[in-house]
Structure 1
Amino acid sequence: MLVTGDFACALLAYQVVLGARWWWGGYVAWFEMVFAAGLVFAWPVAMSFVGAYKKRIQAGGLEETRLVFNGGLGLAAVVAIGAYITKLLIARSIVIAMLPLAILLTLAFRRGLRRWLRRRDPAGEVTHAVVAVGHRASVLDLVMQLRSQPRYGMRVVAACTPGGALEHVSDIDGVPILGDFADVADVVARTSANGVAVLACPELDGTALRRLAWSLEVTDTALFVAPSLMDVAGPRISVRPVAGMTLLHVDHPSFGGINQVVKNVFDRMLATAVLVILAIPMLAIFVAVRATSEGPALFRQTRVGLGGREFQIFKFRTMVNGADRPVDPGFETELLKVRDDPRITRAGAFLRRYSLDEFPQLINVVRGEMSLVGPRPLVPAEFALYGSDIHRRLLVRPGMTGLWQVSGRSDLSWEERMRMDLRYVENWSLALDLQLLWKTWGAVARARGAY
């Protein structure tokens, strides 16, 4: 289906570009038509060359997006270089219109295919059935993560822990414990699992893992090994064989340099453009807030930004005037919201549901105090209440949207939100920002967790 769909996307891009040239009266030579048709057939080949058909990348969108971009840009480079070397006159529309359009259509098709697969299989019957091997705490964390994110296509059907079925508790949050580390192959056969996830534990050293891999070869069962390092994405990790050992080389995250300059320029330019476009709607919201409740239309609050520097965040007021004063002077938090809060005004409820109250933060972005994507800025009191790990968020500018905003918003627990914010800090990239901005529109439209 992927190969056929990718071919169809390239064919559609071919028809759109050539059709547009004919529509505007442009001349299309026959050899250009043949050449462009050849690119249609080369499109799936380019996707295959960069690995866009590997099964391991079809569950997550970010790596698949990167590979599709690489395949499309690689094919465009081959066309451009080949035309230059051979002195072949190729219409610019083929390189600057047809191939970029094919990239966008392919990404849209693959996204739609993933969503269709999830709707077709709500109970997870065609996902990887996995046996988790490790200590109870690690297994429980894996079970909870995979249940909360079914898009990764894995579900834990059984567990093997130290002591196995002899433990006083026979299951881990509903997942049965069917054996210990020596029984993994037998448990795989009993549960008809097609994968084994080995979590970090001292008992499973290199020798034990090698023997486990040997025992799984007979049934062609996939083996997944989770390192103890958490929330580090694939682009930062590479495998290096050293003296017969397999070492994971982990690159340090980049918090400066040209990438951050590009991000800052991109944020400010896009925020400025959006402010111009939304000027009239924001004025209407301003008038509606003032007309429906007493007090100023704009709400200001001190937040902590890049490097621990405090700034004033702007929002449209959604509560009655003075509702931001904490009942307990020793605690205040913006993140822990309450459903059906009586302090929220009628207009404020509508603004919160569709995140319209966040529009003024575009001013913070233009001023360089915030970014379009990043961890949400916290009030100063929260840094005094939580552990030192939270200070890791100060290495990047806070954002208007982020990982947890597109993953459930206020329905997520504090721990889940902080973990997602730290994951963003560790794995930031411009491609991730673009993906989160794209997903934000869907999260806002669904209004899930907005209150």
Structure 2
Amino acid sequence: MDARRTTERLRGQRLLQLGIATGDLVIIVGATLLASVRRVDTPVLLPVANDVNTVALSVGPAIIVAWMLANVARGSYTKAHIGVGTVEYARVLGAAGLTAGAIGISSYLTKFELSRVFFVLLFLVGVPVLLLWRWTARRIVHRLHRRGRLLTKVIISGSESRIDEVASVLRREKWLGFQIIGALVPSTRPVEQTPGGVPVIGFTNETASNALASEADLVLFSEGAFPSAVDFRRIAWDLEGHDVQMAVVPSLSDISSGRMAMRPVGGLPLVHVEPPQSLAASRGLKRAFDLVGATVALLLASPVMLTFALLTKLQDGGPVLFRQTRVGRDGQLFECLKFRSMVVDAEARLSGVSHLNKNAEGVLFKAEHDPRITRIGAVMRRFSIDELPQLINVINGDMSLVGPRPALPAEVRRYETDVQRRLHVRPGLTGLWQVSGRSDLSWQDTVRLDLYYVDNWSIVQDLAILARTVHAVFASHGAY
């Protein structure tokens, strides 16, 4: 039965790779045809050196083949990178750049007068559509993973505590598609399972035999998995020729790939780690990005804001805005603005609903069915409309478009030392906590995501979070 499932899984992975490659081929052929038939009258900027249709018939097939070969050469169909991380997108872009360079060099060496219109349109159309297709395919893969399809069978090797840390991440991020089938621990103390509930199927000194016997697809080596580099090398030799991948989980966590660089020195694979980015997340570039983005967003959202302001006023005659003191960057207090989504005396009635708190172990109050929320307020909370007035806070410099959630003074007084780092940047209108589950997250997960954001800030990450916010808002997961 296990062998049959393994065969089906491998067949499914190959079909996935073939499907993605087929999609790429269709898009590249389509971009080539579109660039061939599209005629643009730009004799000054892009003079047409050859008849475009003639170009397509003569070199079009060669370009299609070259682009597909470039994708293969760049490893854009490698199963380890499909559906995970930004490497897949980078390799697609790298393949396009490689193809463009090859076309340019070939045209120069052969003195072939390639149409500039054809060349520009080919990549202007092809590259964005390829990236969109890969993004769509990624969503499909993640959905299949959540449904238990195309899973990678994983063995985690190392100390019990480190195994549980790795296992908790893999279990939480189900979209990764990792199925934990067992653990390998040092043979000093035999146990049936780790404290976190991962079944122990063997010992670290028998890694290869256990991996083959359990038909694992991947062995994750964590801290304590092997005593020396020589032992790891021997494990690799034993697994040579078998369809088992190996990966090492370093003792580093919550550090973005942008802060790490692998630099072999004398045979030692040194991982250089850049300092945390909390200072950069509070300086000019981010502030300019916030100011421009919030101004544009406020103009676009003004009709919606005016509509709900009127509905809130008509509902019970109370104030439209709810003003609350929050803690900003470096502990500075500011007045946070929101549309009022609760009854007027909500604060006075808090003690009466304290038993509904879903986050008793943390410092936040979360109630999925809070009776103080009005009907209009429920709609606003579902789609985060109640937070739109915070765009004014962003323009004023009290908040940022992206960052940790703005905390109450009472919450900050309960912060532990590490959690204080959340205050090193301006609080955000949205953040990793919102696009990763919002109120469904535990306090520990909220802190982990916020600290990851503070330490690994980049403008690209801000753009990615803003893009994911749109999906999170309309999906309404954890919105209450």
TM-score range relative to shorter protein:
0.7 to 0.9
CA shift for structure 1 position 338: 0.8
Q: For the residues of structure 2 that align with 1:89 and 1:363, how far apart are their CA atoms?
A: 52
Match of 1:131 in 2: 155
The answer on whether the counterparts of 2:48 and 2:115 sit within 8 Å (CA) in structure 1 is no
Q: Which moved more, 1:338-347 or 1:267-276?
A: 267-276
1:13/1:404 CA distance change after superposition, 3 Å? farther
Name the SS of the counterpart of 1:139 in structure 2: helix
The answer on whether the counterparts of 1:72 and 1:100 sit within 8 Å (CA) in structure 2 is no
1:259/1:304 CA distance change after superposition, 3 Å? closer
| 2:292 aligns with one of 255, 259, 269 | 269
1:305/1:68 CA distance change after superposition, 3 Å? farther
Q: For the residues of structure 2 that align with 1:377 and 1:81, how far apart are their CA atoms?
A: 54
Return 5+ residue gaps in structure 1 as ranges. Answer: none
CA shift for structure 1 position 357: 1.0
Q: Which moved more, 1:406-415 or 1:172-181?
A: 172-181
Match of 1:154 in 2: 178
Q: Which moved more, 1:406-415 or 1:130-139?
A: 130-139
State the TM-score, normalizing by the size of structure 1: 0.85
The answer on whether the counterparts of 2:50 and 2:113 sit within 8 Å (CA) in structure 1 is no
Return 5+ residue gaps in structure 2 as ranges. Answer: 1-18, 355-359
Q: Is residue 99 from structure 1 mapped to residue 95 from structure 2 by the alignment?
A: no
Match of 2:308 in 1: 285
Match of 1:191 in 2: 214
CA shift for structure 1 position 349: 0.8
CA shift for structure 1 position 61: 4.2
Q: For the residues of structure 1 that align with 2:34 and 2:331, how far apart are their CA atoms?
A: 50
CA shift for structure 1 position 84: 11
Q: For the residues of structure 2 that align with 1:299 and 1:332, how far apart are their CA atoms?
A: 27
Name the SS of the counterpart of 2:199 in structure 1: strand
CA shift for structure 1 position 20: 6.3
Match of 1:179 in 2: 202
Q: For the residues of structure 2 that align with 1:87 and 1:261, how far apart are their CA atoms?
A: 48
1:149 maps to a residue whose letter is E
Greater radius of gyration (CA): 2
Q: For the residues of structure 1 that align with 2:146 and 2:103, how far apart are their CA atoms?
A: 43
Matches within 5 A, 1:316-331: 316-324=339-347, 327=351
The answer on whether the counterparts of 1:336 and 1:414 sit within 8 Å (CA) in structure 2 is no
Match of 2:445 in 1: 416
| 2:463 aligns with one of 425, 434, 441 | 434
Q: Is residue 9 from structure 1 mapped to residue 27 from structure 2 by the alignment?
A: yes
Name the SS of the counterpart of 1:166 in structure 2: coil
Match of 2:15 in 1: none
1:138/1:367 CA distance change after superposition, 3 Å? same
The answer on whether the counterparts of 2:435 and 2:469 sit within 8 Å (CA) in structure 1 is yes
Q: Is residue 251 from structure 1 mapped to residue 274 from structure 2 by the alignment?
A: yes
Q: For the residues of structure 1 that align with 2:227 and 2:343, how far apart are their CA atoms?
A: 58
Q: For the residues of structure 2 that align with 1:181 and 1:332, how far apart are their CA atoms?
A: 36
Deviations 1:89-108 (A, max 9, x none): 8556853x653443332222
CA shift for structure 1 position 353: 0.8
Q: For the residues of structure 2 that align with 1:351 and 1:22, how far apart are their CA atoms?
A: 47
CA shift for structure 1 position 159: 0.6
Q: For the residues of structure 1 that align with 2:291 and 2:329, how far apart are their CA atoms?
A: 16
Deviations 1:50-95 (A, max 9, x none): 5433333223243333444455567668878999998968556853
The answer on whether the counterparts of 1:164 and 1:178 sit within 8 Å (CA) in structure 2 is no
1:191/1:164 CA distance change after superposition, 3 Å? farther
Q: Which moved more, 1:310-319 or 1:283-292?
A: 310-319
Q: For the residues of structure 2 that align with 1:305 and 1:140, how far apart are their CA atoms?
A: 35
Match of 2:251 in 1: 228
The answer on whether the counterparts of 2:144 and 2:150 sit within 8 Å (CA) in structure 1 is no
Matches within 5 A, 1:343-422: 343-422=372-451
Match of 1:200 in 2: 223
| 1:214 aligns with one of 218, 237, 249 | 237
Deviations 1:372-407 (A, max 9, x none): 222222222222212211122233332222222122
- In the alignment of these two chains, the number of paired residues is 447
State the TM-score, normalizing by the size of structure 2: 0.80
Q: For the residues of structure 2 that align with 1:87 and 1:437, how far apart are their CA atoms?
A: 45
1:311/1:47 CA distance change after superposition, 3 Å? farther
CA shift for structure 1 position 46: 4.9
1:161/1:449 CA distance change after superposition, 3 Å? same
Q: For the residues of structure 2 that align with 1:39 and 1:408, how far apart are their CA atoms?
A: 44
Identity of aligned residues (%): 37
